[in-house]
Chain A
Amino acid sequence: MIPTEYYIFLGSGLFTIGVIGVLTRRNVLVILMSIELILNAVNINLVGFSQYFRAVDGQVFAIFVITDAAAEAAIGLGLFIALFRNKETVNADEIDLLKW
Chain B
Amino acid sequence: MTFLDFIWLIPFLPALGAFIQLLWGRKLSNNAVSWISVGLPGLSFLWAVGCFFQFLKLPEHVHTFTKVLYSWLPAGAYRLGDGSIGYLNIFVGFQLDPLSAVMMLVVTGVGFIIHFYSIGYMAHEGGYYRFFGYMNLFLFSMLILVLADNYLMMFVGWEGVGLCSYLLIGFYFHRKSACDAGNKAFVVNRIGDAGFLLGMMLMAVTFGSLNFTTVTEIARSGRFPVGSGMITAICILLFIGATGKSAQIPLYTWLPDAMEGPTPVSALIHAATMVTAGVYMVARSNALYVLSPTALALVAGIGAATAFWAASIGMVQNDIKRVLAYSTISQLGYMFLACGVGAFGAGIFHLMTHAFFKALLFLGAGSVIHALSGEQDMRRMGALKDKIPTTYWTILVATLAIAGIPPLAGFVSKDEILWRSFTGPHGHTVFWVIGWITAGMTAFYMFRLLFMTFFGTSRVAHEVEHHIHESPETMLVPLRVLALLSIIGGFVGWPALLLGSNRLEKFLEPVFENPLAAQAREYSHGTEFGLMALSVAVAAVGIYVAYYFYQKRPELPERVAVAAGPGYQIVLNKYYVDELYDALIVNRAKDLGNGCAAFDLGVVDGGVNGVGWSTRMSAELSRLWDLWVIDGLVNVGAFLVKLLSYPVRVIQTGLVQTYAWLITLGVLIFMAYYLIHF
Contacts and interface: CB of A to CB of B under 8 A. Distances in A.
Interface of A: 19, 22-24, 31, 92-93, 95-100
B657 A96 contact: no
Interface residues of B, number: 11
B57 interface: no
Nearest to A26: B657
B660 A96 contact: no
Contacts of A100: 649, 652, 654
Chain B interface mostly helix, strand, loop or mixed?
helix
Nearest to A93: B655
Given A19-B664, A23-B664, A99 B653 contact: yes
B656 interface: yes
Contacts of A96: 653-655
Contact of A92 (B649, B652, B655, B664): B655
A19 B656 CA distance: 13
B661 interface: yes
Nearest to A99: B654
Contacts, number: 32
Contacts of A23: 657, 660-661, 664
Interface in B127-166: none
A23 B247 CA distance: 112
A95 B652 contact: no
Give 5 closest A-B pairs by Cβ, nearest first. A99-B654, A96-B654, A98-B654, A96-B655, A92-B657
A98 B654 CA distance: 4
Contacts of A24: 657
Nearest to B659: A98
19 contacts: A19-B664, A22-B657, A23-B661, A23-B664, A24-B657, A31-B657, A92-B655, A92-B656, A92-B657, A93-B657, A95-B654, A96-B653, A96-B655, A97-B654, A98-B655, A98-B656, A98-B659, A100-B649, A100-B654
Interface in B627-666: 649, 652-657, 659-661, 664
B668 to A, nearest CB: 10
A24 B661 CA distance: 9
A31 B649 CA distance: 25
Contacts of A98: 652, 654-656, 659
A75 to B, nearest CB: 16
B615 to A, nearest CB: 45
- Tell which of B653, B655, B659 has the most Cβ of chain A within 10 Å: B655
A100 B650 CA distance: 10
A95 B649 contact: no
Interface in B266-300: none
A38 B649 CA distance: 31
A100 B510 CA distance: 109
Given A23-B664, A92-B656, 20 more contacts: A19-B664, A22-B660, A23-B657, A23-B661, A24-B657, A31-B657, A92-B655, A92-B657, A93-B655, A93-B657, A95-B654, A95-B656, A96-B654, A97-B654, A98-B655, A98-B659, A99-B652, A99-B653, A100-B649, A100-B654
